[in-house]
Amino acid sequence: MTSNRDDFEDLQDTYPGAGTFMFGDSAEVSQIMIASVRAGKKSATCCALSDFDDAPEAMPVVGRCDIAANWDGTPALVIRTVKVEQVRFCDVTWAMAMVESEDDTIAEWKTNHQSYFERNGGFDSEMMLVFEHFELVEDLDGRGV
């Protein structure tokens, strides 16, 4: 059996320059989001622009592949960034929110994301977000793409 580190080293050979990240801020949310990507329902993610202040190299780059990890740190998915937008929280559209989350309305998206940002560094309706659109390249649990 290979270790988690070996898995990531092999993936770095296959996808040079790939960063690693986790969806959400809990095991439950992470699992839901990974399942949504696998099902073709989620093709975008967002975070606060300020999250990149200390690590600008982690900013999504069009064409780059990145590895989404399960909550336990094991690799789950490889995604490729196809579009990156910077948008104020208050300017997120329903079209953007639909591909980013499981919410049923823009109001629900805003409520849930406001709570997320309040838990993770602060919220302001004018805050800048990095909105990343992506495509699934590889499902690392063996089910394919």
Which residue ranges form the domains of the chain, and what is each CATH number?
4-136 (3.10.400.10)
Decide: 139 and 83 in contact? Cβ < 8 Å: no
Query: pLDDT exceeding 70 applies to what percent of the chain?
Result: 92
pLDDT mean across residues, the chain: 92
pTM: 0.89
Average pLDDT over residues 110-126: 96
On the CB side of 107, CA atoms within 13 Å amount to 0
Looking at per-residue pLDDT, the higher value among 97 and 9 belongs to 97
Cα–Cα distance, 22 to 111 (Å, whole number): 21
What mean pLDDT comes out for the span 5-13? 76
Model pLDDT for residues 61-113, shown as the tens digit of each residue: 999 999 999 999 999 999 999 999 999 999 999 999 999 988 999 999 999 99
